[in-house]
Amino acid sequence: MELTLQRKHNLHAIGVLSLILSAILTSVSQVYYANRVQAVHPFLFTGISFFITTLYFQFFSIKQQSSMKWNKAATPILLKLNSASVLAFMGFYFALKYIEPAIVSSLEMGLGPLFVILLAIKQKHHINVAKVSIAIGTLVACLILIYAIFAGKSALITWSKFSLLGILASIICGLGAVLCTLYSKQLSELGWTSSMILSKRFYGIILLSLIATYDVILDYLIGNIGWILLMTLLGVLVPMYLLQKGIQYCTPFFVMMSLCFIPVFTFFFQLFDTRLQWSNITFLGVVLLLLLGISSVIVDRNE
């Protein structure tokens, strides 16, 4: 019994560490991508990068798949996961073209816990009052950041109609991220490994990205292959694998709230981008999300 509890504790620790490392790598890639995407179609990178990502994890999952009998129950979950991945990743990369990276991250991560609560209410699950309070707090922090965009007080200073599209894409991204967490966990419970899940969840992204950019993707690839491969490795492959480990060993609410650390890292990394300036309101918003994220960790561990 004691060994079992110790194993659970160790697996939980691995999940937490994986989420932290994933957050750091993700924040760096967000800032770099946001700078690069200003002159190109936002879905050029997603089509190429996630195609490479799928091939990579497919290679490692072949042996695992051959040793496991296909469960028909996995098919509808996999379709839902692909749809959710489209919302999460394509919405996110679209938003990065029009809004500062720290705010995009904040809207995605901050609204995530609220969507978790709404889904729990719909499914008639018991809801912890502390978690509801934290979710509402993150919503308030997100509203502060949206105000910064409209008031011209974000790191980008000016805003346009495309900023509205960026905000909408960030909100959709937040919903997609929650659904990805839930569906990935369901596949894990069916015996799917992280590599197996990651090798099958991006088909929708690849297809839609190629449809949107089929006429320019080859020219873009030839001139940008170097940084695309680097960012695919450090900004997609490794963070995705670490995130999958976190999803596997931690609760959905903990995963979504721990990811609120990403905007904090992103805010400081984006200071190296000459397009952006220091924003007090953005800093206030990401700090509030950090404090709420820490609170969620305490609540989660006390359950």
For residue range 47-66, list pLDDT tens digits in order: 888 999 899 888 877 766 65
Q: Is the pLDDT confidence value at 120 over 80?
A: no
Q: With cut-offs at 50, 70 and 90, classify the pLDDT of residue 102.
A: very high
Reported residue count of the chain is 303
250 in helix, strand or coil? Answer: coil
Number of domains forming the structure of the chain: 1
pLDDT at 67 over 70: no
| pLDDT at residue 170 greater than cutoff 70 | yes
Fill in the DSSP letter of residue 70.
Answer: P
Compare 191 and 83 and report the one with higher pLDDT.
83
17-32 tens-digit pLDDT: 888 889 889 899 999 9
Report the distance separating Cα 63 and Cα 119, nearest Å: 35
Residue 256: what pLDDT? Answer: 66
Residue 283, burial from CB neighbour count under 10 angstroms (0-12, 13-18, 19+): middle
Q: Does residue 217 carry a pLDDT above 90?
A: no
- Predicted TM-score (pTM) of the model is 0.83
Highest mean pLDDT among 17-21, 100-104, 128-132, 181-185: 100-104
| pLDDT at residue 78 is higher than 90 | yes
Task: Provide the pLDDT for residue 1.
Answer: 55
* Ranges 17-26, 33-42, 126-135, 267-276: which has the least confidence: 126-135
Which pLDDT tens digit goes with each residue over 134-166? 888 888 888 999 999 888 888 887 777 888 999
pLDDT reading at 43 higher than 70: yes
C-beta of residue 19 within 8 angstroms of C-beta of residue 259: yes
Give percent above pLDDT 70 in the chain. Answer: 93
Across all residues in the chain, what is the average pLDDT?
Answer: 84
| Per-residue pLDDT, 58 | 87
Write the DSSP assignment of 282-300 as a string of letters: HHHHHHHHHHHHHHHHHHH
Q: What is the mean pLDDT of residues 265-283?
A: 91
- Judged against a pLDDT cut of 80, whether residue 276 lies above it is answered with yes
pLDDT at 3 over 90: no
pLDDT for the residue numbered 68? 61
Q: What pLDDT band is residue 70 in, cutting at 50, 70 and 90?
A: low
Of the candidates 2, 68, 25, 7, the residue with the CA atom closest to the CA atom of residue 239 = 25
Boundaries of domain holding 227:
2-302
Q: How far is CA 147 from CA 150, 151, 169, 208, in A?
A: 5, 6, 16, 32
Q: Which of 19-23, 179-183, 256-260 has the lowest mean pLDDT?
A: 256-260
26-43 average pLDDT score:
88
What is the pLDDT averaged over residues 126-141?
82
**Choice between 112 and 189, residue whose per-residue pLDDT is larger:** 189
Identify the pLDDT of residue 10. Answer: 78
Look up residue 38 and give its DSSP letter.
Answer: G
